[in-house]
Structure formats: structure tokens, C-alpha cells
A and B are shown apart, each in its own frame.
Chain A
Amino acid sequence: MQTEISAATPAARQKVDKKQRFKRMLPKIALYVILIFLAILWLVPFLFALSTSFAYQFNVNGGEPVVGIYHKDYNWLWHTVTFDNYAKLFSEYNILGGFLNTILYMLAPLFVGVFTSAMAAYAFARLRFPGRDAIFFVLLATILLPGVITMIPSYILFANFYHWTNTPLPLIIPGCFGSAMTMFLIRQYFLGFPKELEEAAQIDGMGWWGIFLRIALPLSLPVLITQVILSFNGIYNDYLGPLLYVGTVTELRTLQLVLKSIPTIGNTPYPLMMAGAVIALIPTFILYCAAQKFFTEGIVLSGIKE
């Protein structure tokens, strides 16, 4: 085969090369075809939802006839567009109020919580004090503790001891104290700093608080942003927490609760539900497009722990 090619004319050789190259490329092309097909499949639910959110639920017969989603001629790829579902969402369901409540409840846990987590992370990573490793181990072990154990007692605690039911306080106050998981991930970052960092600052007469605030925090900005973004997404999507504590008070509901308040049984208003889903997903999509690197870094970081 080798000699055959070298013996052939340049034109023929080129032809054979091309053929071989194609043959070598074939598995790669097949891979691309499969992967792109899968990716489209993964996007179909979103496209289906987006399309339905602009559809009519029922046929409209007056004037120009329009088919609703239940009609056999309804085509999800091509149909008459209406904005009624979105309008209804804002007029009949307090979707804007839900969004504002969500933002209001998350501000303190987001910023104060990440800050207090970073404080603890710094101490566990860079300072030496008696009992440090034991305390760290206890906190680490609770990350693995299934949340369901403390669900009922926490509810009793907030209801009977603190009298916080039907207020957003159970959603706000605990978050301000930081979380062990966030602390653990920020600590990993602090561990990577060189030892000379603090020594140089101490020679300049800086105290620990100053070092943390003016050197350690600015240097760890990427990991802090990652944690703020991940916390934002976690709180934004939380459903069980708000359901337990503010679920029965209409004006305190978060966006996820308002969304869930759309009745989904009987004559299911799928177009309205899809409009709600689209609205609820928009902030997530914007954040993801703007900062997708932080999202993916976060998951890989949390995965390679231990």
C-alpha cells in the first residue's frame, strides 16, 4: 500500500490522501452528529415551552379563526402568537411581587453569608488556634448530614421558640451566619496562598483583621464571586424553604411560590404555565450567559473535594 501510493502520480496520490483523511475523520464526524443531535434534544423542552407560552389555550372562533393547543391542527413549531399569557401572569398573578420578595429575602444571606463564610474559611486555612481541626471536622461532617433530619425540628424552633412563622425571617437570618459548604470551598482557595503573604503584612504592622479584609479578600475575589453566584441560584430556585415559612401568606410569596400557585389540574392552562416557567427561567439564563465560567468552576471545585 505504501509503495503503491508513492509510485502513483501526484494527482492520484492526492485523491487517495483525501479519501484516507475522510476515512480517518469519519468517527469524528459521527461523534459530532450524535452530540449535536443530543444537544438539540436537550434544548427541545425549553423551545417547546417558549413556543407554547405564546400560544392560545382554546380555539378562537370570532374573526380570524385561531387554533388552541388542544386542537389537532395545532403546530408547536408554527402557530398564531399571543402575549395574553404573559399579560395574565402580571395582572392576575403577582409575579413581579414574587420576584421582588425573592430578591429582598436573598440580599442579606447572599452577601453577609458569603462574608461570614469567608471569615471562617480564612481562620481555618491560615490561623493556628487550639481546637481548630476538631471544629473544622465537625462542620465538615455536617455537610453530609441529610437536611431532612432537621426539617421538622427547625420548623418547631422557628414557630415555637422564635415565633417567626409567616415571616421571611427563617429564610433570611440563618443564611447570614454562612454555610459550612461555602466555607469549605473558600478555604480550599485560601490554602493555596503562599506563607510569606501574612509575614510581609505583619512586618508592616498589619493586624489579622486588616490582612483578611485588605489582602486575603481582594485576592480571593474569583472564588467569592463564584460562591455569590451559586448562592444566588440556590436561593432563587429554593422551593421547600419558602413553602414552609411563607407559603400561606400570599403577599410574602417568592417567585417560585407564585409560579406554583398557577392551578395545574383540571383544565390545565399549559400556555400560562409555560409563560410562568419562561419568566422564572429568564434571570437564571441571563446569569448563566454572563457568568457561565463561575457556574462550571463551582461544580468542578465541589466535585474534586476530599
Chain B
Amino acid sequence: MQTTAEVVTLGEGAETAPSPKKNKMNRRRRNECIWGYVFIAPLCIGFLLFTAFPLVLSIGYSFTEYDLFSPPKFIGFGNFIEIFSSNTDWFLRSLLNALVFTIGVPLGALLSLVVAAMLVNISRGSTALRMIFYIPTICGSVALTFIWQWMFASHYGILWEFLENLGFHLTDDFGFLDEEHFMASMIFMGLWAGLGGGLLLFYSSLQSISRDLYDAAALDGAGPLTKFRAITLPGISPVLFYILLTGVVGSFQAFTQFQVMTGDIISEHTVMPVWWIYRYITGEWGYRYGFASAMGLLLGLILIIVSAIQFIASKYWVKY
């Protein structure tokens, strides 16, 4: 219907003179269409050049061996087979590390929910407190990692001192950043750095739950646990879902704090996926761009699948 209207306007002279009013309407519609495309043109061109095109390339390069200097050589599923069968490549190991790091996501959500629940119960000073908790989330990762590297320092760092003062006797072979404790320390730092974002979202979501619901539940004799399950959880479920989704995708792609914390010294215990892929760009392990593309594509697909599962599962527990 819309298109026929446009055809009519295009063949203006040949048609049996349409009423002047209709003609004007058509010209206005066409004008609106043209301006619509003009307005979205820059964003769409940028999208095609810098997102869609690389996306297509990533699929193409994943099946090739490519060193930037000679043309890419098609090798079928060779790269993917190597990822899963190689003993020297740490990509699978980095996925395992990322999975461990993801423990911080539900922990962080729980922590920010608890603090948010405390904050909605006070009136004066709650804004100032929220502002303080939010500070780390806007700070650059390099600076924050420097600070935590110093806090985690053996013997001299504040955390070491704190534990000694509590009566723990830390031996010389203990370290917050040694093989055994590295991931736990990174999760700990992540909890501190990430609290503010979840807190803000939970706070506004908790505030939007009507007080009347709790009063009515209290009249019916509901305990705190029932209230939480029947009123609070459904109320905050969209925000909780959002935090878990973005949190998982974010922690699988965490890079800066790992690279900076270790001083760019990679090991089986510290390697993370994006860091490992980045190594192939620097040429440290040879210029294997096809192989690196395959790893990027694989990680991306894993995250898309995880997100899709979360989306499907959310149908059962998220109440919008």
C-alpha cells in the first residue's frame, strides 16, 4: 500500500490529476522517508564498515592460515581442530580460567543486592553512600589494578598487614597473587570494583516495588523469606537478569586487569581468553591471524550461546 502511493507520486504527470491535498500528503510521506534514510545513514555506514564487514571477515579468516604478508590460505576446520587438540595452546585453559572468574558475577550480584536492601531502608545519606560505592566503577582499570597490586603486595601491602594484625601468620611462600590465590584475588578486586553498578540498579528497582505489597503480605502473616520470594525477587528479576547477562559476557572478555596485574607475564594460571588472542596480534607466538580469528569467533559464539540460554531460562523466572 505504501509502495503504490510512492509509485503514484513518482509518475505524477501521467496520472489523472490526483486531488491537490492527496498529492501534498504523498510528497510529505516521501520527504519523510528520504530524511529518515539520511538521518540513519552515518550510523549504518559505520555499522557496515566497522562491525558487519569485520564480522563477515572473522568467519572467513577463521578457516584460513593468514600472516598479513602473504594471501590467506584456506585450511578448512584446521584452526578449530588445533584449538581442541593442541597441548601447547592455552586457549582452552583460558576459557577455564574465565569460567572460574565468572564466580564473581553471582557473588557480586548478591553483595550489591544486600547493600542495596540496606540502603533503601535508610533515608538520610543514602545518596552520598551510593555515590561512594559507585566511584570504582567509573575509574580506569589500569589505575585500579595498580592500586590493588600494591594492596596485594607480599609483606608490605595493606592486606598482608591487616591479616597479620588479625593474628594470621603468613609464610614467605604465601602470596595473594601466586598461582593458587591469583583468581580468588582477582575476583575479590572485581567485587570491590563492580559493586556500584549493580547496587544502583538494584536500589532503583527495590524502590519501585510498592510498599503496599509488603504491608498486605504482612497482614497475611508472611515471613521475611516468603516476602522476599513472592514480592522482592519478582520485582528485581529484570535487573538481576540484566546484571547476570552483562556480567558473564564481561568477565569472559576481561583483559586489562589481568594483563596489568601480572605485568604482562602470562602463565597457565593467569591467562584469559582476550589476552591470549591479543598475544597473536603482537606476533609473540608468530603472526597467526587466521588462528586468532578462529579463537575470537569461538569465544564469541560461546558467549552468544550462553546469553541465549540465559534468555530462554529467563522466561521462567524473570517477571517483567
On A, residues with C-beta under 8 Å from B are: 28, 31-32, 34-36, 38-39, 42-46, 48-49, 52, 69-70, 74, 76, 116-117, 119-120, 122-124, 127-130, 132, 135, 139, 142, 144-157, 159-160, 174, 176-178, 180, 183, 207-209, 212, 233, 236-237, 239-240, 243-244, 256, 259-260, 263-265, 268, 270, 273-274, 276-278, 280-281, 284-285, 288, 292, 295-296, 299-300, 303-304, 306
Q: Is there contact, CB below 8 Å, between B121 and A28?
A: yes
Which residue on chain A has the smallest CB distance to residue B306?
Answer: A146
> Main SS of the interface on chain B?
helix
Chain B nearest Cβ from A146, distance in angstroms: 4
Q: Is there contact, CB below 8 Å, between A174 and B57?
A: no
Give Cα A154–Cα B51 distance, bound, in whole angstroms. Answer: 8
What sequence of 0s and 1s flags, for each residue 64-85 of chain B, a beta carbon within 8 Å of any chain A beta carbon? 0010100000000000000000
**Neighbouring B residues of A236 by C-beta, 8 Å:** 140
Q: Is there contact, CB below 8 Å, between A42 and B192?
A: yes
Q: Is there contact, CB below 8 Å, between B57 and A157?
A: yes
Which residue on chain B has the smallest CB distance to residue A160?
Answer: B68
B209 within 8 A of A: no
What sequence of 0s and 1s flags, for each residue 120-153 of chain B, a beta carbon within 8 Å of any chain A beta carbon? 0110010001111111111111111011111101
Give Cα A43–Cα B197 distance, bound, in whole angstroms. Answer: 16
Give Cα A212–Cα B39 distance, bound, in whole angstroms. Answer: 10
**Neighbouring B residues of A76 by C-beta, 8 Å:** 158
B255 within 8 A of A: yes
Q: Is there contact, CB below 8 Å, between A129 and B54?
A: no
Q: Is there contact, CB below 8 Å, between B131 and A31?
A: no
Q: Is there contact, CB below 8 Å, between B158 and A265?
A: no
If A119-B43, A303-B239 touch, does A208 touch B289 (CB 8 Å cutoff)? no
B297 within 8 A of A: yes
Which residue on chain A has the smallest CB distance to residue B245?
Answer: A144
If A268-B153, A295-B138 touch, does A152 touch B36 (CB 8 Å cutoff)? no
Chain B nearest Cβ from A123, distance in angstroms: 3
Give Cα A39–Cα B119 distance, bound, in whole angstroms. Answer: 12
B280 within 8 A of A: yes
B271 within 8 A of A: no
If A32-B122, A208-B32 touch, does A120 touch B42 (CB 8 Å cutoff)? yes
Q: Is there contact, CB below 8 Å, between A265 and B136?
A: no
> Main SS of the interface on chain A?
helix
B102 within 8 A of A: no
Q: Is there contact, CB below 8 Å, between B150 and A52?
A: yes
Q: Is there contact, CB below 8 Å, between B142 and A44?
A: no
Which residue on chain A has the smallest CB distance to residue B275?
Answer: A240
If A239-B140, A259-B142 touch, does A152 touch B50 (CB 8 Å cutoff)? no
If A148-B296, A149-B300, A239-B141 touch, does A288 touch B135 (CB 8 Å cutoff)? yes
If A152-B61, A239-B140 touch, does A45 touch B300 (CB 8 Å cutoff)? no
Pick from B138, B192, B307: contact of A288, CB below 8 A: B138
Counting chain B residues whose Cβ lies within 8 A of the other chain, the interface size class is 35 or more
Which residue on chain A has the smallest CB distance to residue B288?
Answer: A152
Chain B nearest Cβ from A114, distance in angstroms: 11
Q: Which 3 A-B pairs have the closest CB atoms?
A: A177-B46, A149-B300, A129-B36
Pick from B49, B133, B142, B292: contact of A260, CB below 8 A: B142
- 14 A–B contacts, CB within 8 A, in A order: A45-B192, A46-B135, A119-B40, A127-B39, A146-B303, A148-B303, A176-B46, A212-B39, A243-B278, A244-B278, A260-B260, A274-B146, A280-B143, A281-B140
Q: Is there contact, CB below 8 Å, between A42 and B58?
A: no
**Neighbouring A residues of B149 by C-beta, 8 Å:** 264, 268, 270, 273
If A139-B43, A178-B46 touch, does A155 touch B55 (CB 8 Å cutoff)? no
What sequence of 0s and 1s flags, for each residue 185-211 of chain B, a beta carbon within 8 Å of any chain A beta carbon? 000000010010100110010000000
B242 within 8 A of A: yes
Pick from B43, B115, B148, B255: contact of A180, CB below 8 A: B43
Q: Is there contact, CB below 8 Å, between A277 and B143?
A: yes
B31 within 8 A of A: yes
Give Cα A153–Cα B216 distance, bound, in whole angstroms. Answer: 57
Which of B43, B242, B260, B307 has the most CB atoms of chain A within a 10 A radius of its CB? Answer: B43
Pick from B36, B47, B238: contact of A177, CB below 8 A: B47
**Neighbouring B residues of A147 by C-beta, 8 Å:** 253
Chain B nearest Cβ from A31, distance in angstroms: 5
B103 within 8 A of A: no
If A32-B122, A152-B280, A208-B31 touch, does A124 touch B40 (CB 8 Å cutoff)? yes
B274 within 8 A of A: yes
Give Cα A239–Cα B257 distance, bound, in whole angstroms. Answer: 10
**Neighbouring A residues of B53 by C-beta, 8 Å:** 157
If A129-B36, A284-B139 touch, does A177 touch B58 (CB 8 Å cutoff)? no
Q: Is there contact, CB below 8 Å, between A127 and B35?
A: yes
